Amino acid sequence: MTTETNDKKTVGRLKSRPQFLAVRKGDIRRGRAFLLEVLDRHEPNDPPRVGFTVTKKHGNAVERNRMRRRLKAAVRQSAAIAMKNGHDYVIVARRDVLSTSFAELTARLVERIESPSRHGTPRQGGPKRPVPGKHDGKES
RNA sequence: CCAGUCGGCCGGGCAGCCGCGCUCCACCAAUGUCGAAAGACGGUGGGGUGAGGAAAGUCCGGGCUCCACGGAAACACGGUGCCGGAUAACGUCCGGCGGGGGCGACCCUAGGGAAAGUGCCACAGAAAGCAGACCGCCCCGCAUCUCCACUGCUUCUUUGGAAGCGGUCGGCCGCGGCGGGGUAAGGGUGAAAGGGUGGGGUAAGAGCCCACCGCGCGUCUGGCAACAGAAGCGGCACGGUAAACCCCACUGGGAGCAAGACCGAAUAGGGAUGACACGAUUUCCGCGAAAGCGGAGGUCAAGCCUGUUUCCGGGCUCGUCAUCCGGGUGGGUUGCGCGAGGCGAUGUGUAAACAUCGUCCCAGAUGAAUGGCUGCCACGUUCCGAUGCUCGCAUCGGGGCCAUACAGAACCCGGCUUACAGGCCGACUGGCGAC
């Protein structure tokens, strides 16, 4: 668990090129307006870190700045809560970051951070066992 | 009111919630955390401040920084190119001149030299650079043909003649033909054809002659100058192209804040000392019978750098191993914002601009702060309704949409160029209407 003394979580920042290259080896999750790369560093006491990648082919300097700022604002306001300690996140922006509404962008980002992958946890039981109780329903 | 020209300015505003960079203040908190070191850094609250007219393209000019930088001559390469001024400087700006366009306000203009030389002038056309003669125009000559004159024969006949075939040591007035010459006015080709228009002149023509315009030459006048004007002389020579080579004049070291300075891990590369090894040629000295060895000096070494060449010069590198010691990448600090600074006033100047005074302090990031979201308003656009009338415009009311274009400082200035939704202001020009 996170320390409850400060409810707003401090998120570190990835800065150097080797850090970015390391995260590329982790889990890759596709979103509508972005691409999310996640790497577990196995250091549960460190705060999570985030980096942004906006390539030059997606717009001029003004548009690239706007994309990065909207993503930063989304992470700071809501998505940082969902991030786990000891993990690195890299958000690769696409051009749709400019056009989607801020609420939708935030929701998509939180969803991608929370869900490890499209197919959920690797379960052994298989699709039988209709799960009578409240097992792990994410609609809770 | 419509159409247009030029110049200047703005380039959303207000409020709320949550944040960011830099900086200052107060309190709290370890003598702490990270790091090899250099160095950097916490929490809470508050104050200040925080992108552009182009921050863009990186096309010119500077500041600043390092490197190179010795001297002379020639050469090469690049840039600029009417004149005067402004400026730190400029290829920028201002004022003027010449040329071109527009009714006009005004706009455009790479605008030195073509009698220093070389080259090129496609296609078309007769001819494109010591000009040329296709058609045409004009003159002279000739008589094979043709034409004309005279005449013989044949055929036809409306009895006037007509047609055909011949003849003449016939003719050159007219149309052709052949030959010789003149011409550049006209046609035609072209971007360009060796001045233009009019008159005289002539066989026809032509600066052949004359007037005006143009051109050239020197003189005078005005102007700092580019240049303009005047009278005179010259019958006209000297085509265009220099964003073709070229010539002339002026001018120019190179690289850039990833510059540079400082602190400083590892690894690879440097300096000092010692040992071993180490060219050629020549001069002198010593030893030696000689070969040769040792010492001192010169030249070449033999390359690279100083833009090239030459001359006089300079610098660097000029072998291996061992020991010791300093420089430098990643990282950090700095460079880093008081400046050719902004605003206002006054003065000088036609202006660009300059001077003086007052006042202000105005971004400093480095995976890169200056933001995210919401509401209202202004502006714009569109729809509906009403009213007015010049019948597609104005005003009023309501609703919807968008809520902005071009675009993000990266050492700093002066310019240029390019991009830009919408809007404001001023001056001027040409029309129409009213008074």
A100 touches strand B (CB under 7 A): no
CATH number for the domain spanning A37: value is 3.30.230.10
**Structural domain range at position A100:** 12-114
Pairing mode, strands A34-40 and A12-13: unpaired
Global model pTM greater than 0.80: no
Within a domain: residue A126?
A: no
Within a domain: residue A78?
A: yes
Within a domain: residue A128?
A: no
Within a domain: residue A140?
A: no
**What is the number of structural domains in chain A?**
1
Q: How far apart are CA A121 and CA A134, in angstroms?
A: 16
Within a domain: residue A47?
A: yes
Which chain B positions come under 7 Å from a protein C-beta?
A: 18-19, 51, 367-374, 407-409
Gap from A20 CA to B247 C1', Å: 64
Residues 25-44 of A with CB under 7 A from strand B: none
pLDDT digits (tens, 9 = 90+) for A94-137: 878 877 777 788 888 888 887 654 433 333 333 333 333 333 32
Per the CB < 8 A criterion, the answer to whether A117 and A38 are in contact is no
Within a domain: residue A120?
A: no
